[in-house]
């Protein structure tokens, strides 16, 4: 258990077929295996890899009701009962990680030595592009702050012009004057201004709903008793939690999220705090959570909180999806090579080509994963830059129209003041 830390665990019981009895213990789910450990003897009563699972079912037996069965290759069936909080939660989590393991690309032949020159060159190119894009993003952010300051100044000017308009109207038409502006026309103008502001705000929000990444997950609101299949959507300016039918469960705006607590590379908790009422908290488990974490760390740097469990996960060596299977595969390959008769003389050119082809792949699997994460970060940066550019374009349009309107109002007020004088 020290090498492969559990992603999740549930107390329950396991049926020992040879002794025809149930044994209390804990069911553990790790990165690659399912293991049941006895409470009394601390021995592993059952241990099998996720890749060897054939079927996971919820059944009832003559011995105990509400059991969870796992069928392993070789027609070996494991019975688990008395699972807490309930067997549905355990089934949802096990089925999710098993399904994602089946859908992930096979990496059993990952034992060859790699020559990282090509992969490292690609990584350096992507890293350079990422640094350049980050510099561009900082410049855009500074430019956006300047635009925002200009907008605030124009809003203050507009407000002052509104006050001046009211004062001039009072001077031009005193309260005792019978031909003042009719009240229903004032209401119509106010409604038209509100509608224009609403349309402008809707146009600004159109570019903020782009999906950066979407991953399947097991979702729970708060505790462990209601873990259900769903998905997590990471958008440019928000997070969305949806159920298995893509129905929205909750929408978190970026400024509403107070904490993203990372329990493990596969489990996070998103929390929005309130004063005077309960917090909104969603817990998400996913086999593809590491893919989303690279984006979340960039978007919510100050709000991501890594727990001690996550540190322990990162400290342990990441076992490959077929660690022990890879060992047995390599042993079988070695035995096969020993049993196979090879020709005594092999041309040097063919042998060198064979060695380069087998033992020196251009890009290793680790480099591929690193490139994948870096490209996803580049995509996130590009989308954020695009959104910022669209926002600044809209701000420029508003600045232009506001400046023209302010100039026109100033000229109009100047003429009215001259007439009064």
pLDDT of residue 157: 85
Q: pLDDT tens across 382-413, in order?
A: 887 878 888 888 888 888 888 888 888 888 88
pLDDT at 282 exceeding the cut of 60:
yes
More confident: 143 or 279: 279
Cβ-contact 119, 377 below 8 angstroms: no
Q: What is the C-alpha separation between 347 and 345, in angstroms, rounded?
A: 7
Cβ-contact 219, 283 below 8 angstroms: yes
What confidence tier does 312 reach under pLDDT thresholds 50, 70, 90?
A: confident
Q: What is the pTM of this model?
A: 0.56
Within 10 Å of residue 304's Cβ, how many Cβ atoms? 17
Tokens 């119509």 -> residue:
188
pLDDT of residue 323: 45
Instruction: Report CA torsion sign: 75, 81, 84, 86.
Output: positive
Domains and CATH numbers, the chain: 8-103 (2.30.29.30), 211-315 (2.30.29.30)
Q: pLDDT tens across 46-104, in order?
A: 999 888 888 898 887 655 567 888 998 888 889 898 888 888 889 989 988 888 877 66
């Amino acid at each position: 258990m020290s090498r492969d830390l559990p992603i999740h665990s549930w107390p329950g019981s396991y049926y020992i077929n040879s002794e025809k009895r149930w044994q209390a213990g804990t069911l553990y789910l790790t990165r690659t295996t399912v293991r049941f450990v006895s409470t009394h003897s601390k021995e592993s009563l059952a241990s099998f890899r996720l890749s060897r699972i054939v079927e996971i079912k919820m059944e009832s037996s003559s011995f105990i009701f509400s059991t969870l069965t796992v069928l392993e290759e070789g027609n070996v069936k494991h019975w688990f009962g008395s699972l807490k909080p309930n067997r549905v939660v355990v089934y949802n989590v096990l089925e999710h990680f098993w399904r994602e393991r089946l859908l992930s690309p096979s990496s059993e032949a990952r034992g060859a030595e790699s020559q990282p020159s090509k992969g490292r060159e690609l990584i350096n190119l992507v890293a350079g592009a990422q640094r350049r894009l980050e510099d561009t993003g900082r410049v855009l952010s500074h430019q956006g702050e300047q635009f925002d300051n200009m907008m605030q100044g124009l809003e203050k000017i507009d407000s002052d012009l509104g006050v001046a308009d009211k004062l001039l109207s009072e001077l031009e038409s005193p309260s005792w004057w019978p031909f003042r502006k009719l009240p229903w026309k004032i209401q119509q103008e106010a409604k038209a201004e509100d509608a224009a502001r609403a349309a402008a705000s809707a146009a600004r929000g159109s570019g903020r709903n782009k999906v950066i990444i979407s991953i399947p997950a097991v979702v729970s609101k708060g505790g462990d008793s209601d873990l259900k299949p769903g998905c997590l959507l990471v958008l440019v300016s928000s997070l969305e939690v949806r159920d298995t039918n893509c129905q929205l469960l909750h929408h978190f705006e970026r400024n509403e999220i107070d904490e993203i607590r990372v329990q493990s590379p596969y489990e996070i908790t998103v929390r929005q705090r309130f004063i005077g009422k309960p917090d909104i908290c969603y817990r998400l488990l996913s086999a593809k959570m590491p893919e989303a974490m690279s984006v979340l760390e960039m978007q919510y740097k100050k709000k991501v909180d890594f727990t001690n469990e996550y540190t322990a996960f990162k400290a342990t060596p990441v076992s490959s999806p077929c660690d022990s299977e890879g060992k047995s595969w390599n042993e079988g390959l070695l035995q096969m090579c020993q049993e196979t008769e090879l020709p005594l003389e092999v041309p040097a050119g063919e042998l060198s080509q064979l060695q380069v082809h087998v033992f020196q792949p251009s890009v290793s699997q680790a480099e591929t994963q690193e490139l994948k994460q870096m490209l996803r970060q580049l995509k996130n940066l590009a989308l954020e830059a695009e959104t910022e550019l669209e926002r600044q374009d809209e701000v420029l349009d508003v600045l232009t129209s506001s400046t023209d309107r302010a100039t026109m109002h100033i000229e109009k007020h100047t003429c009215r003041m001259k007439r009064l004088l």
